[in-house]
Structure 1
Amino acid sequence: MDVHRLRVLRAVVAAGSVHGAATTLGYTASAISQHLTALQRETGLPLVQRAGRGIEPTAAGRAVADAAAGLFHELAELDALVADLRSGRDGALSVSYFASAGSAWIPGVVAAVTRDFPRLRLDLRLLELTGPDAGAPDIEIAVDDGSGGGRPGYRCRPLVTEPYFAVVRAGSPLAGRADVDLVELRSEPWVDNDVARGPCRQALLDACTTAGFSPTFHIETQDYPTAIRFVAAGVGVTVVPRLALLDLPPGVVAVPIVNPTPRRSISVQVAESMVDNLAAVRILELLADQVDAWTQDRRLSSAG
């Protein structure tokens, strides 16, 4: 059955006449009659009957009109769902991020956006564990690879550039220093912390090349927290970006590196198809707030 013709029938039943329905819907009386005739042909039922100079719905017509009420309620809900999906108030959104960003920024972003969009389903993906078949995310927080270009079909927004620190054992001669020249770490046994050999590690290796040496990695670990715990155990030193210094364990000290200072830049990319999505826009706002607050905390800590 034609949904529009059902709407016309309901208008006739509600108004009590063809002319009343025509006024309500903004049609001519002739158009209303044509829709009723077509609907009777579709259903094979007499839906209206003559009553004096006008017409009135039959019992079958009233039954069909009443039953259609539920259909129009469901259609209204469907229209609302489509509008919510289009705007980002409903549906799913995939967000990829790397581990240290996940620890520092993602919990606050997720807590706020799920309050703002309670029907939104978030697909959170850790970059270090994402396989090649995972599909492109809607939003990605990643370390710049130095190529100067982002993902095709995405808009890129810089977030922060952060320095690296040497993490040494508390009893080391370097532990009490205000800073350490990168070349002074040349003879130290290094604990590697980036098995993925990604842009974070490359930024460090490039700085070492500038300083005139290549680090000697004695131990290879999977991530920053593990490498730092090896340092606490007295195995060697490790060099990590500032984000990795959250919740340092007892027995280690983070010392700023100079001459040169290795740095990495972090950006967020959003798919072109999602730039007007309300939830995606909100996530970008919340992420910027988290980064700003984190940066301010680091400045206050350094000043103290």
Structure 2
Amino acid sequence: MLDPHRLSVFRAVVAGGSVQAAADNLGLTSSAVSQHLSALARETGLVLFQRAGRGITPTPAGLELAAQSEEAMSQWGRLDSVVADLREGRSGRLTVGYFSSAGAAWMPRLVKRLTKELPDITVKLVLTEVTSRNVTPDIDIVIDPPDGGGRPGYRKVPLATDPFVAVIPTRHHLVHERTVALADLRSETWVSNDLVGSLGHRIVVSACAAAGFTPRFTVQAQEYHSAIQFVAAGVGISVMPRLAARSLPPDVTRLRITDPTPMREISALVRETARPNPAAERLLEMLLDLNTHPARRGRVP
């Protein structure tokens, strides 16, 4: 079995680019770092580094070991945190995955309430839409793909249906309307608010195709806050999830979209474990309650 400490020293050398850099970062002597590298090479039977001028550089095998060990080291760090929690008398740790609009709209109040009810718990929040690799959340708030596929080791609990809305500047000619047919936006200049090819982008483009047109994206903002600022400046309109358009500046407003209404489904994935996880179940209860009573999170048109 590989020694986790030696593996972490090895990864520090790969990341730092040299034995001396790793030694400085880890608070070790360069001799101690070299000894750990030699011991790891014997354990693995691999040549992990090769000479490059006066220094060393990872071999292809070394680079692969560094890449593949990331998940194992992440899990080891999680176990180390569990030990620290037990030693310091904390009752547990909860890792929660989320995407940005759900994080902004729901998580601050829910985490505050959860930690008030369970003061000994440590909550770790992970923005999984940009950091999904090597993360195993206890509960993960996700956007369902159209095929409704699940995730091994998790049970899926539907939370909410989130319709998309049109975000327009207040000087737009549609500003006095409450709803707009999607086809009526065909001639508008569009500002994207998601990555091309992402699930949210595909939902919007698919709905536009159903309405008989392809949107003309002039600005690829790729995230909600920037897109809203482009709309405020009068560059164009944007179609985004209602959850992302909860808080808008005074010179921007939103309209409901009809014929058709793009929709995204939001679910919680709860990790199935051998032992009950009361904190995860309590957070799930809060999420379900929040989405059963929309007034508690603030309605938007």
| TM value normalised by structure 1 | 0.66
In the alignment, which residue of structure 2 is the partner of 1:90?
91
In the alignment, which residue of structure 2 is the partner of 1:44?
none
Does 2:237 match 1:233?
A: no
In the alignment, which residue of structure 1 is the partner of 2:113?
112
Cα distance in structure 2, aligned partners of 1:297 and 1:276: 28
Cα distance in structure 2, aligned partners of 1:274 and 1:144: 26
Cα RMSD, aligned residues only = 2.2
Cα deviation digits, residues 76-117 of structure 1 (max 9, x gap): xxxxx99x97xxx72211110011101111112101111122
**3-state DSSP class of the match of 2:137?**
coil
Cα distance in structure 2, aligned partners of 1:121 and 1:296: 25
Q: Which amino acid in 2 is paired with 1:121?
A: T
**1:198 Cα offset (Å):** 2.2
Does 2:290 match 1:290?
A: yes
Relative to 1, partners in 2 of residues 1:113 and 1:196: Cα closer, same or farther, differing over 3 Å? Answer: farther
**1:219 Cα offset (Å):** 0.4
In the alignment, which residue of structure 2 is the partner of 1:205?
205
**1:152 Cα offset (Å):** 1.0
Q: Percent identity?
A: 45
Cα distance in structure 2, aligned partners of 1:135 and 1:102: 17
Relative to 1, partners in 2 of residues 1:93 and 1:296: Cα closer, same or farther, differing over 3 Å? Answer: closer
Cα distance in structure 1, aligned partners of 2:265 and 2:275: 22
**3-state DSSP class of the match of 2:125?**
strand
Q: Does the Cα contact within 8 Å between 1:159 and 1:291 map onto a contact in 2?
A: yes
**1:289 Cα offset (Å):** 2.0
**1:271 Cα offset (Å):** 0.7
Does 2:126 match 1:125?
A: yes
**1:131 Cα offset (Å):** 4.6
In the alignment, which residue of structure 2 is the partner of 1:4?
none
Q: Which amino acid in 2 is paired with 1:94?
A: T
Cα distance in structure 2, aligned partners of 1:248 and 1:238: 13
Q: How many residues align?
A: 216
**3-state DSSP class of the match of 2:129?**
helix
Relative to 1, partners in 2 of residues 1:298 and 1:213: Cα closer, same or farther, differing over 3 Å? Answer: farther
Q: Which runs of structure 2 are paired with 1:64-79 in the superposition (5 Å)? A: none
Q: Does the Cα contact within 8 Å between 1:168 and 1:238 map onto a contact in 2?
A: yes
For structure 2, the residue ranges without an aligned partner over 5 or more in a row are 1-81
In the alignment, which residue of structure 2 is the partner of 1:10?
none
Q: Which amino acid in 2 is paired with 1:149?
A: G
**3-state DSSP class of the match of 1:190?**
strand
Cα distance in structure 2, aligned partners of 1:131 and 1:284: 20
Structure (1 or 2) with the larger CA radius of gyration: 1
In the alignment, which residue of structure 2 is the partner of 1:224?
224
**3-state DSSP class of the match of 1:222?**
coil
In the alignment, which residue of structure 1 is the partner of 2:277?
277
Q: Which amino acid in 1 is paired with 2:138?
A: D
**3-state DSSP class of the match of 1:165?**
strand
For structure 1, the residue ranges without an aligned partner over 5 or more in a row are 1-80
**1:244 Cα offset (Å):** 1.2
**3-state DSSP class of the match of 2:268?**
strand
Does 2:244 match 1:247?
A: no
Q: Which amino acid in 1 is paired with 2:117?
A: D
Q: Does the Cα contact within 8 Å between 1:109 and 1:290 map onto a contact in 2?
A: no
Higher-helix-fraction structure: 1
Relative to 1, partners in 2 of residues 1:260 and 1:284: Cα closer, same or farther, differing over 3 Å? Answer: same
Q: Which runs of structure 2 are paired with 1:141-152 in the superposition (5 Å)? A: 141-152=141-152
Q: Does the Cα contact within 8 Å between 1:211 and 1:259 map onto a contact in 2?
A: yes
**3-state DSSP class of the match of 1:129?**
coil
Relative to 1, partners in 2 of residues 1:105 and 1:275: Cα closer, same or farther, differing over 3 Å? Answer: farther
Relative to 1, partners in 2 of residues 1:225 and 1:274: Cα closer, same or farther, differing over 3 Å? Answer: farther
**3-state DSSP class of the match of 2:273?**
helix
Cα deviation digits, residues 233-267 of structure 1 (max 9, x gap): 01000001110122211111101111111111100
